[in-house]
């Protein structure tokens, strides 16, 4: 089972998110994460969907997504040729003694502290999945109160952009 | 003008002259606008029948079928009908009323989330939020329903939107949906590869499906078959794609197909699959087959179907009619493989079908007799179950004839309303609804519609007092039947008489000829009830 990252341009209409996620659930495909937002064109939104599956499932997912009227274009993003990023906010338990060393780790990771209280410290971090996982693992030693993550979003490196590419498969 | 009037104006612009529906509180504005127009409204007796009738109408007329219902239960009753059309790729535009747009989501009287409920069986759906979008939406809906792989499109219109005044009533000239650009023409390189594969094959076989009929490609298919000499089998939905008496015609494949057809698929070295998704029912009867032994060409307008159920070496996305024409143009008759030996081999597989002599009517014999008595433009509308299989197996296809059934979803009760829709689309053609006693009772309320509009339909009812197909499966797998007895069926003749429909009951084969004569000559709807052996099976 491989992980694939699909970048999908959709019409910014109400119900699109429901249609896409509905399609996945009723056909039994696994969504690992889904993030969506507006693009430079306010009528168009872009979804980044991380799916697990073999080649047959991936091909079917792309084809079924293409059938949706609101889906404009689908591109599969290759980890080596794209930038993958995720935003995470981690609320870490702190004590007088541990606070300094936590702050040290935060600066090593070049993350930001966005909130402080008597017992907690909230860290905001963007990075690829491995960076975020690494940070969380370190913070586990101190005790994590809460984590909120956006899921992956991605963009291709270089000159190419999604609108240039041909929609879907060419048979 | 009012939005509701603009809706009717758009329908007329789309060449709609007939709609099937059932009014209600939240669709009143549309019905008032309909009353003032020349569009014929056919009142059904339950909304599911409106969708089935629109489906039968669409399949016979070649136009998009239109059905209208109110909000809440009116809309939810349509669901089975919409799903039926979706599975068989029938072009429908479904218009439903909805509660006032400012009140949506508050569980109002007769409110239902129909766009959410039908998401998985519509090509697209619209919940209209701005009345000025209506002309564009309706234009798009008809375009989406009728192009590419046809299918149902739903438009849900809140009652306040229906009543609102529209400023711009101009209907857009063209439709441009950037997310929807269906392919019609086959890729030239693939066509070349396909033609080469055909010339290299020794035992080629065509599997024709519903797509051939939806594409109106029967003529091109016949030319292709005659030019290449390749034998043909078909799926249930592909019945009628080639006349049964054509010398290249082998038969129907699948679980309930003919064994010679299934054997042909197993023995072929090249399969040319046209307009079928080869789902489980069609493929089920075929012995285990690896793709090393056989090359597969798959022609379909829906790219998602290629590679879904069967692995393909030569995929071709496009319209069947167009691609067949492209292939016909490329094929050189001197390259033609000599298929006579292969064809002879296939014909030798033909099994003998024993006709059981019982004290009842034999449904196979009934269908064969009926085949001979009907003319070349007759339409058979089969329900689901044993009656469907007898009709599919034993009704002879000729150029000009049509066979309609619910193949994909297998919806019982399809036959009566779809026959009504078919007759309204083609009043001059003979229309026969084949149905069992189970399916008949699922939609017998449509006897009201059939009687009211005096639709001259022959209802061929195979009454075995059973849910026959289920009984057959239970006997095969468990040895015993359960919950399939309909022994206390009403007197169907009396029931039809109550709807002012005449009928006759026969119990032996010898009565068939006269009964069919009477039914065919009768002016108006007619019930021909055949009492069938409860133990009669579809497969010997």
Domains delineated in chain B: 3-163 (3.40.50.970), 188-348 (3.40.50.1220), 363-531 (3.40.50.970)
pLDDT of amino acid A28: 86
User: What would the DSSP string read from start to end of B238-291?
Assistant: TTTSS-TTSTTEEEE-STTS-HHHHHHHHH-SEEEEES----HHHHTTS----T
Name the stretches of chain B with pLDDT < 50: none
pLDDT of amino acid B335: 61
Q: Which residues of B touch A67 (CB under 8 A)?
A: 123, 302, 304
Q: Report residue A1's pLDDT band, with 50, 70 and 90 as the boundaries.
A: low
Per-residue pLDDT reduced to its tens digit, B153-188: 999 999 999 999 998 888 999 999 999 999 999 999
Interface with chain B: mutation pick from A14, A20, A44, A171, highest number of B CBs within 10 Å: A171
Tokens of B57: 């109408």
Distances (CA, A) of B444 to B413, B415, B447, B470: 8, 10, 6, 20
CATH superfamily of domain region A84-153: ACT-like. Chain A, domain 2 (3.30.70.1150)
Query: How far off is chain A from B308, nearest CA to CA, in Å?
Result: 7
Phi and psi dihedrals of B40, rounded to 5? -80, 130
pTM: 0.94
Phi-psi region of B330 (alpha: psi -120 to 50; beta: other; left: phi over 0): alpha
CATH of domain A2-77: 3.30.70.260
Alpha helices, DSSP H only, in B24-166?
28-35, 47-61, 73-87, 114-117, 134-146, 159-163
Burial class (CB in 10 A: 0-12, 13-18, 19+), B35: exposed
Contact A72 B315 (CB under 8 A): no
Distance of CA B135 to the CA centre of its chain: 29
- Residue from the list B179, B190, B315 with its beta carbon closest to the beta carbon of A72: B179
pLDDT of amino acid B291: 59
Q: Which residues of B touch A170 (CB under 8 A)?
A: 187
Q: How many CB atoms lie within 10 A of CB B449?
A: 25
Tokens of B206: 């065509």
pLDDT of amino acid B144: 97
Q: How many CB atoms lie within 10 A of CB B506?
A: 18
Q: Please determine, for residue A170, whether its predicted confidence score (pLDDT) is greater than 50.
A: no
User: Identical fold at A2-77 and A84-153?
Assistant: yes
Residues listed for chain B: 540
Residues 83-122 (A) with a CB less than 8 A from some CB of B = none
Which residues, in sequence order, are bridge partners of residue B83? none
So where are chain A's domains?
2-77, 84-153
Q: Report residue A168's pLDDT band, with 50, 70 and 90 as the boundaries.
A: very low
Phi-psi region of A69 (alpha: psi -120 to 50; beta: other; left: phi over 0): alpha
pLDDT of amino acid B336: 66
Burial class (CB in 10 A: 0-12, 13-18, 19+), B117: middle
Q: What's the CA gap between B364 and B368, in Å, rounded?
A: 6
Kindly give, in sequence order, each residue whose CB lies less than 8 Å from that of residue B418, ignoring residues fewer than 6 positions away.
Answer: B52, B53, B55, B56, B59, B381, B404, B406, B433
Q: What's the CA gap between B260 and B241, in Å, rounded?
A: 18
Per-residue pLDDT reduced to its tens digit, B109-124: 999 999 999 999 999 9
Can you tell me whether residue B472 is helix, strand or coil? helix
Q: Which residues of B touch A171 (CB under 8 A)?
A: 183, 187, 190, 303, 306, 315-317
Phi and psi dihedrals of B27, rounded to 5? -130, 15
Q: Which residues of B touch A56 (CB under 8 A)?
A: 307
**Contact residues of B toward A, CB < 8 A:** 115-116, 119-120, 123-125, 127, 144, 177-181, 183, 187, 190, 302-304, 306-308, 315-317
């Amino acid at each position: 089972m491989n992980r694939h990252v699909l970048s999908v341009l959709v019409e910014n209409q109400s119900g699109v998110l429901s249609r896409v996620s509905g399609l996945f659930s009723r056909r039994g495909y696994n969504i690992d994460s889904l993030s969506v937002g507006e693009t430079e064109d306010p009528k168009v939104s872009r979804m980044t969907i991380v799916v697990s599956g073999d080649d047959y499932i991936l091909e079917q997912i792309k084809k079924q997504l293409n059938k949706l009227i609101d889906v404009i274009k689908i591109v599969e993003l290759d980890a080596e040729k794209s930038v993958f990023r995720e935003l995470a906010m981690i609320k870490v338990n702190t004590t007088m003694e541990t606070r300094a060393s936590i702050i040290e780790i935060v600066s090593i990771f070049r993350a930001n502290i966005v909130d402080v209280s008597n017992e907690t410290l909230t860290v905001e971090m963007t990075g690829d999945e491995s960076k975020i996982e690494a940070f969380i693992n370190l913070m586990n030693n101190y005790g994590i109160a809460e984590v909120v993550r956006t899921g992956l979003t991605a963009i291709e490196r270089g000159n190419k952009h999604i609108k240039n590419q041909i929609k879907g498969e060419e048979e | 003008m009012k939005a509701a009037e603009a809706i009717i104006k758009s329908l007329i612009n789309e060449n709609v002259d007939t709609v099937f529906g059932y009014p209600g509180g939240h669709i009143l504005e549309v019905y008032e606008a309909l009353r003032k127009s020349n569009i014929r409204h056919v009142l059904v007796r339950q909304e599911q029948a409106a969708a089935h009738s629109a489906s039968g109408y669409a399949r016979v007329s070649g136009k998009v079928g239109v059905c209208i219902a109110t909000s809440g239960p009116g809309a939810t009753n349509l669901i089975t009908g919409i799903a039926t059309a979706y599975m068989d790729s029938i072009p429908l535009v479904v218009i439903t009323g909805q509660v006032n747009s400012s009140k949506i989501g508050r569980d109002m009287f007769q409110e239902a989330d129909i766009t959410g409920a039908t998401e998985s069986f519509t090509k697209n759906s619209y919940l209209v939020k701005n009345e000025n979008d209506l002309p564009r939406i309706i234009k798009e809906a008809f375009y989406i329903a009728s192009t590419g792989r046809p299918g149902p499109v739903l438009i849900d219109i809140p009652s306040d939107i229906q009543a609102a005044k529209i400023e711009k009533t101009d209907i857009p000239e063209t439709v441009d949906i950037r997310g929807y650009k269906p392919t019609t023409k086959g890729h030239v390189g693939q066509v070349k590869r396909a033609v080469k594969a055909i010339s290299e094959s020794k035992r080629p076989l065509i599997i024709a499906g519903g797509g051939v009929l939806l594409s109106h490609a029967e003529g091109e298919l016949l030319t292709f078959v005659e030019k290449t000499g390749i034998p043909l089998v078909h799926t249930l939905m592909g019945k009628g794609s080639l006349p049964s008496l054509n010398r290249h015609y082998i038969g129907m494949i699948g679980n309930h197909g003919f064994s010679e057809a299934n054997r042909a698929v197993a023995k072929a070295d090249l399969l040319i699959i046209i307009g079928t998704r080869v789902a489980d029912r069609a493929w089920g009867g075929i012995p285990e087959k690896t793709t090393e032994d056989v090359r597969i060409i798959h022609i379909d307008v829906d790219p998602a179907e290629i590679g879904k159920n069967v692995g393909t070496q030569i995929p071709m996305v496009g319209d069947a009619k167009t691609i067949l024409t492209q292939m016909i143009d490329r094929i050189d008759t001197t390259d033609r493989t000599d298929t006579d030996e292969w064809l002879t081999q296939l014909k030798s597989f033909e099994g003998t079908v024993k006709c059981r002599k019982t004290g009842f009517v034999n449904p196979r014999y009934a269908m064969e007799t009926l085949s001979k008595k009907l003319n070349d433009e007759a339409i058979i509308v089969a329900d689901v179950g044993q009656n469907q299989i007898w009709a599919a197996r034993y009704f002879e296809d000729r150029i000009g004839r049509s066979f309609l059934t619910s193949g994909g979803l297998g919806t019982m009760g399809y036959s009566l309303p779809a026959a009504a829709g078919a007759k309204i689309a083609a009043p001059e053609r003979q229309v026969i609804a084949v149905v069992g006693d189970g399916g008949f009772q699922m939609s017998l309320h449509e006897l009201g519609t059939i009687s009211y509009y005096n639709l001259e339909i022959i209802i061929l009812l195979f009454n075995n007092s059973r849910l026959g197909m289920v009984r057959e499966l239970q006997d095969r797998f468990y040895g015993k039947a359960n919950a399939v007895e309909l022994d206390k069926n009403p007197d169907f003749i009396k029931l039809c008489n109550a709807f002012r429909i005449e009928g006759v009951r026969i119990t032996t084969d010898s009565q068939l000829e006269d009964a069919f004569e009477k039914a065919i000559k009768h002016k108006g709807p007619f019930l021909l009830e055949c009492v069938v052996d409860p133990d009669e099976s579809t497969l010997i």
